[in-house]
A and B are shown apart, each in its own frame.
Chain A
Amino acid sequence: MPILQIKDITKVYEGKVTHRALNQLSFDVEDGEFIAVMGRSGSGKTTLLNIISTIDEPTSGEIILDGMNPHKLNATELAYFRRRQLGFIFQDFNLLHMLTVEENIILPLTLDQQPLEVMEERLKSIVEKLDLTSFLHKRPNEISGGQAQRTAIGRALIHNPSLILADEPTGNLDSNSARDVLELLTKVSNERKTTIVMVTHDPIAASYCDRVLFIKDGEFFNEIYKDDRRQLFFQRILNVLSLLGGGQVGDLSTIRLP
């Protein structure tokens, strides 16, 4: 049973220049799956993510999340839906600078008016898992990028959402932090059976996923599944990417696995 179904989503931006960002895109995401969406800049990745996170409406088509279509809800219900069902991880972390690390993580639960005991209990288990204990009372501007992204992951996980949406989570991190974050996401996906949809440019990041979906100019292009060996999977991703670039391999940056 797929937890997320994308059915013929089309998104057209009207304005002085009409632009078709997504064109009849369809795919399913299984429960507990860790999926990466790849494509070049402007291929519609972020639009897709915005539509799934319900802050943008598709021009046509529908999405079904956990058996219902969130775009049919009214504004308040939608907000409640987002706060309970979805978790977000951003490229630039988007932690609230005036809150401490601890407060940032707990924020979704306070918005949902959970009792204090529940909050403390969840916080404790998450913090241990993410190894955040030593800087719980620091401010976001006092910690490193990797720590900040781990905090953001904590914030995305604390309310046990059915779907986590990650927008280039490793985009602002150095290679070591990026590897940590990706391993963490894999672990979360395996242990807690959390479904993650990650949008990325980075073939290395994509190679940690169960499946990689490629889109080109807003249309479905290809998809590949994970191998036993990550090295091989990475190679295949590169191959698809070179096809995606219109056959000109020179378009791609040369990347080696660390």
Chain B
Amino acid sequence: MTFRQFAYRNVVRNSRVYGAFFMASFFSVAVFFIYSMLMFHPDIESGILGEVSMIGMIGAEIVLVLFTLFFLYYSMSAFLEARSREFGILLHLGMDKRQMNKLVFLETMIIGAASIIVGIIFGFSFSKFFFMIVREILHLEELPLYVSWEPFVLTIGVFTSAFVVITFTSVYLRRERKLLDLMKGSNYLHSVISYSKIRAIYGIALIISTYVLVLLVSYTSMIGLTLLIPFSATFGTYYFFSDSVPFFLDLARGKRKYHWQRYRLLSLAEQTNIMQENVKVFFVVTMVSTMAFLSVGVLATMSSYTTQYERLNPLGLIYKGDIDNPYESEHINLLMEQLEEKGLSYHLTRFVVIKQTSSFTHNEVEVFRESDMNTLLSSFGYPMLKLSAGEAVFIPYSEESLKKLKNTVVHTVLEENEIPLTIDSVYPEIVFPGSIVSVNSIVISDEDFAKLKKPIADADIVQPSYKLFTFDIPQWMETKEIGKEIDHLAVDEYFIKKENRSPFYFENAGLNYSYILATYSLFTLVGVLVATVFLLAAGSFIYFKLHTSLEHEKRKFDVLKRMGLTDIELKKLVNRHLFPQFFLPWGVAMMHSAFAFFMVQSILKDIANISIVKEVFFAFGFFVIIQVVYFYLIRWRYISHIRT
């Protein structure tokens, strides 16, 4: 038997021991490969997602690789730790350190090669399925399966080097341990509880102050404080696990009346032990899960934004210009020509909007004419306005304003022309997007409008009135290419000529939507992927940790069984053993992300005016389900291990 044969047989005949590590590697390879398949997809490369997406995807791939490296490194060390007894025997028999490193290297390479091959096969067979999901997310016509050498080469290259790197680092970074300790089996630290009360309080205080900070930011929008939050959250979480939790456990253990009851004696002691040994793991799992929650939450937000987009932007194209805008006829003709060329039906409405001062607020108010408004409303198929002299209606600029203005009645006078008005209602639909109309916009009757002779008195206002051209296009999603020249011109005016203001403003909902959709799709892809890997890793960390101490646990339960622990009690004890390991880090992560969402929500409210509460609850619910499934899965494996 050569040395290589020895390594090979070691792996093949101990498949159960190596199984967990193999599964971890194999899954990472499969995820990576599927993602590479998408990245190298010819259709994607030709620009479905635009150029930003390509950079984003490469970035995500790098994040994925880094995380996989960390994850594999952790699995590998746990795996080596679990086998320390075996290594002890080999060293005892006279194997030298170099040979042992070679053995570990060979074995890892065998497992690595196997997992790369199986992972790629698995990944390839599932990539069609993945493409189908992606096609749905991105609203693509089709995303066919293809065969190309690039994803294969990339995956093989990345993972081969990853395994080499991991083997070397985990072999050389391993603590030197005495042969005798190795022979005794996996390392079980017999450390005394060590925590400091100050740090325990510090941990709790930091977390609480982070939450307070979050609330502060959301109420006073002091965005600068946002930078502090990640730091205080990180340190707070670490101290919480390293000191606060042991401190509370110790407090509980001090109370005999509470402590000396049934399995509480055992489970509390067990918890203390677990906490001591897993501070780092719990910390990492918490942070990683928080990230996963956040990325999924952001996804949910984005999807809610896209679904609300159409409602908030009912118009396809909007062209806003000064009264003496030199480009006006040129641009409007260009837009009409291009629309006809594309064969898109449209309905053009021209507005003249006059600015006046309201006596009620002494602020500027933008006044629309009833008949102009009705032309647009008829093209939308919305109910028409019927106003007589002295009557006016608010134009809503957002969902919020709709609710707010609904029950507002204002008696005002347009100061310059002394026209008395009663504004007693709001138009029930959003007609213009928030970026076009001002906060104070009203519609008045044609008679009153005709009386608006004198311009606004405020000298600061350069343009006392403006023209608005709205194109209502039913197929507004296809207007991406329309009016590109105008867009470029607007950009030039701003950045090249350094003009303070441009005589016109152009908004293309279809183009904006395509940008948003591209970003959204990118985030979805990256988010789903990263969340999958994070979730997998978070669960696997715990599993590997359990795997390492299994021998020891088995002996403990053996003693307890002899002492008369019933089967039900054993299960309960295992529950109490596993439950905190699963749900404490995740619970803390949930808390963290709940507060983070609170902040995101209040910021979003200012910017985009959308609510994400429902989406976030959905995402959290989904995570809770996954968690519970994980818990039962690992509990089942654990109990069956303990019993044998």
Contacts and interface: CB of A to CB of B under 8 A. Distances in A.
Given A107-B265, A113-B262, A139-B190, A96 B566 contact: no
A55 B260 contact: no
B559 A81 contact: no
Contacts of B566: 75-76, 79-80
Nearest to A92: B555
B564 interface: yes
B562 interface: yes
Contacts of A81: 564
Interface of B: 188, 190, 192, 256-257, 260-266, 269-270, 272-273, 555-556, 559-569
Contacts of A175: none
A98 interface: yes
A82 B262 contact: no
B260 A106 contact: yes
Contact of B564 (A94, A111, A120, A141): A111
A96 B266 contact: yes
A252 interface: no
A116 B564 contact: no
A233 interface: no
Contact of B562 (A53, A76, A103): A53
A84 interface: yes
A108 B564 contact: yes
- Point out which of A75, A98, A106 has the most chain B C-beta atoms below 10 A from its C-beta: A98
B257 A116 contact: yes
A103 B555 CA distance: 18
Given A107-B265, A113-B261, 10 more contacts: A75-B567, A76-B567, A96-B269, A96-B559, A97-B188, A97-B190, A98-B272, A99-B269, A111-B563, A116-B256
8 contacts: A53-B562, A79-B569, A98-B269, A103-B265, A107-B266, A110-B261, A110-B264, A139-B190
A80 B568 CA distance: 12
B266 A79 contact: no
Interface string A121-160: 0000000000000000001011000000000000000000
Contacts of B565: 79, 83, 111
B562 A82 contact: yes
B260 A88 contact: no
Nearest to B273: A98
Contacts of B555: 94
The 5 closest A-B pairs by CB, nearest first: A83-B564, A82-B564, A79-B566, A98-B269, A141-B190
Contacts of A98: 269-270, 272-273
Contacts of A90: 559
A82 B563 contact: yes
Contacts of A83: 563-565
A84 B266 contact: no
Nearest to B270: A98
A110 B562 contact: no
Contacts, number: 77
Contacts of B567: 75-76, 79
A97 B553 CA distance: 11
Nearest to A83: B564
A64 interface: no
A197 to B, nearest CB: 14
Interface string A51-82: 00101000000000000000000011001111
Contacts of A212: none
- Point out which of B260, B265, B564, B568 has the most chain A C-beta atoms below 10 A from its C-beta: B564
Contacts of A113: 261-262
Given A84-B564, A86-B564, A96-B559, A110 B273 contact: no
Nearest to B566: A79
- Point out which of A94, A96, A97 has the most chain B C-beta atoms below 10 A from its C-beta: A96
Contacts of A107: 265-266, 563
Nearest to B190: A141
Contact of B568 (A76, A99, A106, A141): A76
Contacts of A96: 266, 269, 556, 559-560
A96 B561 CA distance: 13
A164 to B, nearest CB: 12
A116 B261 CA distance: 8
Contacts of A29: none
A25 interface: no
A21 interface: no
A213 interface: no
A88 B559 CA distance: 9
B535 to A, nearest CB: 30
Nearest to A75: B567
A240 interface: no
A157 to B, nearest CB: 13
Contacts of B261: 110, 113
A80 B272 contact: no
Contacts of A86: 564
A181 to B, nearest CB: 19
A119 interface: yes
B377 to A, nearest CB: 75
Contacts of A139: 190, 192
B245 to A, nearest CB: 15
Contacts of A119: 260
Contacts of B256: 116, 120
A90 B567 CA distance: 22
Contacts of A109: 260
- Point out which of B266, B270, B568 has the most chain A C-beta atoms below 10 A from its C-beta: B266
A99 B190 contact: no
Nearest to B552: A97
A214 B563 CA distance: 27
Given A96-B559, A98-B270, A98-B272, A106 B265 contact: yes
A219 B242 CA distance: 57
- Point out which of A99, A111, A120 has the most chain B C-beta atoms below 10 A from its C-beta: A111
Nearest to B265: A110
Contacts of A79: 561, 564-567, 569
Contacts of A80: 564, 566
B363 to A, nearest CB: 71
A120 B257 CA distance: 11
Contact of A55 (B270, B272, B562, B569): B562
Given A79-B565, A84-B564, A110 B269 contact: no
A141 B191 CA distance: 9
B7 to A, nearest CB: 27
A20 B190 CA distance: 40
Contacts of B560: 96
A142 B567 CA distance: 31
Nearest to A82: B564
A112 B624 CA distance: 35
Given A96-B556, A116-B256, A141-B190, A88 B262 contact: no
A82 B566 CA distance: 10
A88 B265 contact: no
B327 to A, nearest CB: 80
A111 B261 CA distance: 7
Nearest to A85: B564
Given A76-B566, A79-B567, A98-B273, A111 B262 contact: yes
Nearest to A106: B260
A139 B188 CA distance: 14
A88 B561 contact: no
B272 A88 contact: no
A119 B270 CA distance: 21
B221 to A, nearest CB: 49
A186 B157 CA distance: 71
B199 to A, nearest CB: 22
